[in-house]
Structure 1
Amino acid sequence: MEGERPAFTDSWGGVYRLIEPGEFTLGDSTGVGARNESPAHDVSITEPFFLGERVITQAQWVDLMGSNPSKFQEGWSSGLRPVESISYHDAVEFLARMNERDGNSERLGMIGIWRLPSEAEWEYSARCGTNGRWWFGQRDVELNDYGWHAGNAGSTTKEVGLKKPNPWGIFDMNGLVAEWCADQWDPNYNTPRTQSPHRHASSKRRVTRGGSWFTESDSTRSTARSSSLESKTSDGIGIRLVWEPQSTS
């Protein structure tokens, strides 16, 4: 892993790592991706943010929301598995409660807010400065060291953080569960050249990223995109949070 990035720990022990500004090419520039991954375009990440090392677990969800919607609840370690079967609207409610609880909490001398990552922030954090199918290379056989997918998950989710992290210290971005992003879906990829989420007034679909335990390896690539209706729940979709600094305390 690259040099240790500044980080903080939340009240559940979850770690959030600093993602620094930079520029990258969003989307598939190799010509082998799906049609909705192009046209590739340059994006500037101008504002730093903190990204969760791991997706939100069932135990964390239950502690805040009081109930568990997840399909895979069996076994002593189920609390350490990702929460799934949550809609985009459920994710928004979770974030509202997080911000109500933590709104005045100081982290690294700053006050901030919890939110979902934009699609650009998600891909930037998944790529870690690389341009291949995955940050670690081009070969499917290497994926087993870094992600859970249809070829190795055994038809179920797993505890978060069991696979190796990417160079920026983030776990499970390739597989396990797809992750809701803040962006409304645009199949033509007319998305911003900034880290801001895409807005499409008529769209009822939101971007999901990362692939899941039941998708083939190709769906876990860094540029692979998908979408779901905001009201949809799936045992293959969960959430990873961003903490955005707003001001110094």
Structure 2
Amino acid sequence: MINVPGGPVTLNDRRTQRSWTVEVAPYLLAAHPLTQAAHAQTTGTQDGGRLPAHSLSWWDAVGYCNTLSLQEGLTPAYHLHDATDDGDEAPDGGITWDRNADGYRLPTEAEWEHACRAGTSGPRYGPLDDIAWHRDNSEDHIHEVATRRPNPWGLYDMLGNIWEWCWDLYDPEVYGSYRVLKGGGWYDPHWSCRTSVRRRSHPTLRIEDVGLRLARTPRPQP
């Protein structure tokens, strides 16, 4: 986990032409996306070594965070309330985030973008071919994590390889429970692998180019 300093970050939505600034507190973020080996060690499934764990829904990601937290003696960040009758998805408000918990969680969209930028101001933190697997260099498949150049804060694969789930709702007034995805994937064109780009997906969907990166809130200092 990398210690990410706090600070302001300005987010943009190209669809609505809206911009907003968020002040984020210091937090911890994994140096690379969750690997299939790490996922398998926790859950007993999908072991592909250092390839990113993928085809995980937002709900899978949230559940994984809680499972790993319990295994490591940390306080789970999420509380899941009663689900709908069919058991597939909790309704809006069916999950709450304990912001004081020290367990694993998904980054917020603001935390993700702040970490991706790592103090840089351009659309990317370096030349795309050097930092990301994307449509023009991936040979149409996923790659092992941390094989491209990291950003200035030591974070790998913030762009390209797989999209990453964030905590936030995308636009609840228009898209309901759809959650934010960031980062671009191995089959995305260059214009989609930019720090500011945001995508959305239904929290129950499992997509082959979508995974997660773990975050944590630091324990308060005594």
Q: Which category describes the TM-score, using the shorter chain as reference length?
A: 0.7 to 0.9
Report the alpha carbon displacement of residue 201 of structure 1 after superposing the two structures with TM.
11
**Aligned counterparts, 1:178-217, within 5 A:** 178-186=163-171, 203-217=176-190
Gaps of 5+ in 1: 1-15, 29-33, 106-110, 137-141, 187-198
The correspondence for 2:205, drawn from 205, 209, 232, is 232
The correspondence for 1:51, drawn from 29, 44, 58, is 29
1:144-180 deviation line (CA, Å, top 9, x unaligned) = 1000011110111111000000001100011000000
CA distance in 2, matches of 1:66, 1:200: 38
CA distance in 1, matches of 2:106, 2:174: 19
Question: 1:79 aligns to what SS in structure 2?
Answer: coil
User: Measured at CA, do residues 200 and 59 of structure 1 come closer, stay the same or move farther in structure 2, by a change above 3 Å?
Assistant: farther
> In 2, are the aligned partners of 1:185 and 1:200 still within 8 Å (CA)?
no
Q: How many residues align?
A: 197
Q: Which amino acid aligns with 1:204?
A: S
> In 1, are the aligned partners of 2:28 and 2:217 still within 8 Å (CA)?
yes
User: Measured at CA, do residues 18 and 201 of structure 1 come closer, stay the same or move farther in structure 2, by a change above 3 Å?
Assistant: farther
Is 1:90 paired with 2:70? no
Is 1:130 paired with 2:109? no
CA distance in 1, matches of 2:152, 2:42: 30
Is 1:41 paired with 2:47? no
User: Measured at CA, do residues 222 and 104 of structure 1 come closer, stay the same or move farther in structure 2, by a change above 3 Å?
Assistant: closer
- Runs of 4+ with >4 A deviation: 199-202
CA distance in 2, matches of 1:181, 1:246: 21
Is 1:245 paired with 2:218? yes
Identity %: 33
CA distance in 2, matches of 1:80, 1:174: 17
CA distance in 2, matches of 1:24, 1:179: 18
CA distance in 2, matches of 1:181, 1:244: 15
Q: TM-score, normalised by structure 1?
A: 0.74
Q: Give the CA RMSD over aligned residues.
A: 2.0
Report the alpha carbon displacement of residue 132 of structure 1 after superposing the two structures with TM.
1.5
Question: 2:219 aligns to what SS in structure 1?
Answer: strand
